[in-house]
Amino acid sequence: MSSNVVFQLKLHPLTGNSEWVVIQEDQNDDVQQPLLATTSYLDMLNDSARNRAYRQAIEKTITKPSHVLDIGAGTGLLSMMAARAMGSKGRVTACESYLPMVKLMKKVMRVNGMGGRIKVINKRSDELQVGGDIPSRADVLVSEILDSELLGEGLIPTLQHAHDNLLSENPLTVPYRATTYGQLVESSFLRQLHDLHNNEASVPDDICLTPPGLEGVLSVKRQQYAMHCDPIRKEIKLLSEPFKIFEFDFWKRPESYGESELCVKATNDGRVHAVVSWWVLQLDREGTIYYSTAPRWISSATTTSPIGWCDHWKQCVWFVPGNGISISKGEEICLHATHTDTTISYNFDTRVSTSEVSHHGMTAENFQLVLSPERAAIYGDKAWRLSMLKAVESVLQGRVRSLCLVADDSVFLPLLVAHLSEASHVISLLPGLKERGLQYLLGVAHDNHLSPNHIEVLGKRAKQVTLDDTDQKKVDLLIAEPFYFGNDGMLPWQNLRFWKDRTSVDSILSEDALIIPSKGILKACAISLPDLWKSRCCLSKIEGFDHSVVLSEAFDVMEFDFSKQIHQCEGKSKVNFTKSGVCHGFVLWIDWVMDLQNSVVISTGPDKRYWKQGVKLLATPKTVGPEISKNAQACYSAVLEAIFNPSNGDLKIVHEFL
């Protein structure tokens, strides 16, 4: 292809709405085009181990002219492999439901001279009709409809419909089989991602988000979470050997529900905090071609040697509730695994105590406020809580009766303000949590010995708030973390929605209203990221088809001043490289300044484990180094410029190497 293709999840930080978009970037226009956040589709196409395994299996399986059906065809790579394997004969039908991808696939096929050999259908596979869309049932199925959990992209219902309606009896399939494996682990880091109740034991603010008897009322969803486990290997203690969980055959109709009873023997003393799982694809019938998502510490004949870093498929983590389960070496523990059409879950044979009923009839069993693991970890983080405490104490000093408006979905700040100033009235917007947030705050306010009369929930967006909602009183304190429910995993500056909210409520702010955070600082540093760059680099030859370490100190790029209404911002900064190496891009993040004195700053930078940063990748990596290195080929400095557009929330990043 003649251009880079970027699949980007665009979130409008001023409205909270998001959509997938396809961006085509000219390779020679890298200075003008930002590449801040992409999906893992490019990473998948650049996964040489995956591509090689599929090619080998397709060439081994399709040895004569056949009717091949490719479900979820994407850019058509597997379809083209199948067509090439059959030569000039046979038929390939490529089924893809996403229209932008279909347009791209047709372009790829034209470039490769296969436009007339593959029939492309823009439908979901369960919408295909034999005799209409395809003339007859297919003899061969090739597919790659797998996520990190294996089942999340609808593998089971897709295979069920295909076997019932689209495939011949005893079809050939690539892959042939998938097997899921698991391992018991101990990890304090993984425990912190879900065990908010025990994490709160050391916090300094006397606020309890998970009161006794309601330990699970603020929790993470009981599901598997896709996660890179290799980077935290030193923080993981293995407590068992790997064990097989489920097996799914592509060549026959799968069941929607399955159970597996496992007795797992402990290989070490410890506490089981999580189940780490992965899957292994057997791509051919004979069992000679495999692909594995196992962590790098796993090595066996069936998992093959560990593959290189990739982002499209990770391991999965299932958190064991609370502080985990104590286990001794040699002891067996019973694990009950179940799968549905789309998920795999686990349950240990242990007794769980019954939660007490709160003063408002709320129990952890009948009501849960579900947060992301990262947000649960942040709420239990001692340093973060201390920073928030200092910031709120500072702005409340000297204010006896304040009207506080919490603009975001924070459930911590309303309780903190009410705790520090009993005479203040707190109004929470909770635009995403709404009634769930209200019920939660009423329950835990009582358990924190706070009067529920001091906390009011509107459940509105900021632009809908008027003086009628405040009894005609002006707001003295506008505050946010900032955090918006449902935006977890997005880039830090996408919480600049707070700036838009601050602007929307400007008419109800008092003349001396204080705003927390007072400003945001966009920061960056140059970094060497060979794995990430490779996974997102422009696509070149893929199996014969044309798909055309920190190097600087952190530096400020520009500021967002929340004391003023939202407006266009521009910033430019020069950075000198402090280390020699290959620069693949710039990591960007926001530091939230929480007070006017600049004394309380909450950073979302790379050294903060629970936050996500953005990356501006280069089209071509640059050799860089300090000027004293005397490397004539190296760039000694770079200029980074950022432009924030308040009309659509876009953040444009431009760079120049000197």
pLDDT in tens, 110-131: 988 998 899 999 999 999 999 9
In angstroms, rounded to a whole number, what is the distance separating the alpha carbons of residues 615 and 536? 11
The HSE-up count of residue 317 (CA atoms within 13 Å, CB side) is: 25
In the chain, CATH 3.40.50.150 sits at: 47-174, 381-516
Nearest to 188 by CA among 3, 8, 30, 324: 324
Using a 10 angstrom Cβ sphere, with 0-12 exposed, 13-18 middle and 19 or more buried, the burial of residue 2 is exposed
Q: Class assignment of domain 47-174?
A: alpha beta
Beta-ladder partners of 602: 592
CB 430 within 8 A of CB 442: no
CATH 2.70.160.11 fits 519-657, yes or no: yes
Give the H/E segment covering residue 656: strand 651-657
Under DSSP, the state recorded for 411 is: S
Site of tokens 């189940």: 275
Q: pTM value? A: 0.87
* CATH node for 381-516: 3.40.50.150
Go through the chain and tell me how many residues it has.
658
The SS3 assignment for 520 reads: strand
b/e code 539-554 from CB counts within 10 Å (16+ = b) = beebbebebeebbbeb
Give the residues of the chain that fall short of pLDDT 70.
1-46, 300-309, 350-367, 489, 532, 534-548
Q: Beta partners for 237?
A: 186
Give the count of beta carbons closer than 10 Å to the beta carbon of residue 453.
9
Give the separation between CA 99 and CA 583, rounded to whole angstroms: 35
- Residue 15 backbone phi and psi in degrees, to 5: -125, -20
CB 385 within 8 A of CB 416: no
Catalytic one of 96, 144, 200, 215 = 144
pLDDT of residue 350: 59
The DSSP call for residue 166 is I
> In the structure encoding, which two tokens stand for residue 101, read together?
């991808």
> Which residues are CB-contacts of 426 (< 8 A; sequence separation ≥ 6)?
404, 406, 414, 417, 418, 454, 455, 456
Q: By the 8 A CB rule, do 362 and 438 touch?
A: no
- Judge contact between 325 and 272, C-beta under 8 A: yes
- Tokens read off for 581: 């190496």
Active-site residue flag, 241: no
CB-based burial of residue 131 (10 Å sphere; 0-12 exposed, 13-18 middle, 19+ buried)?
exposed
Structure confidence at residue 411 (pLDDT): 95
ω before 482 within 30° of 0 (cis)? yes
Name the DSSP letter for residue 165.
I
Instruction: Report CA-CA distances (Å) from 58 to 72, 76, 505.
Output: 16, 14, 60
Of the residues 25, 153, 247, 393, only one is catalytic, namely 153
Q: What is the CA radius of gyration of the chain?
A: 27
Tell me, what's the pLDDT at 141? 98
DSSP state of 654: E
Domain 178-348 has CATH 3.90.550.10: no
* Residue 144 is a catalytic residue: yes
Shortest CA distance to 93 belongs to which of 54, 63, 138? 138
Amino acid letter, 262: L
Residue 306: Cβ-neighbour burial (10 angstroms; 0-12, 13-18, 19+): middle
Question: How buried is 230 (Cβ within 10 angstroms: 0-12 exposed, 13-18 middle, 19+ buried)?
Answer: middle
145: which DSSP letter? -
Whole-angstrom Cα distance, residue 56 to residue 173? Answer: 13
CB neighbourhood size of 401 (10 A): 10
Integer Cα distance of 423 and 416 in angstroms = 13
The residues, any chain, with a CB within 8 Å of residue 15's CB and separated by 6 or more, are 497, 500
CATH 2.70.160.11 in the chain is located at 178-348, 519-657
Choose among 25, 52, 43, 6: nearest CA to 532. Answer: 43
Separation between Cα atoms, residue 486 and residue 501, nearest integer Å: 17
Q: What is the pLDDT of residue 357?
A: 45
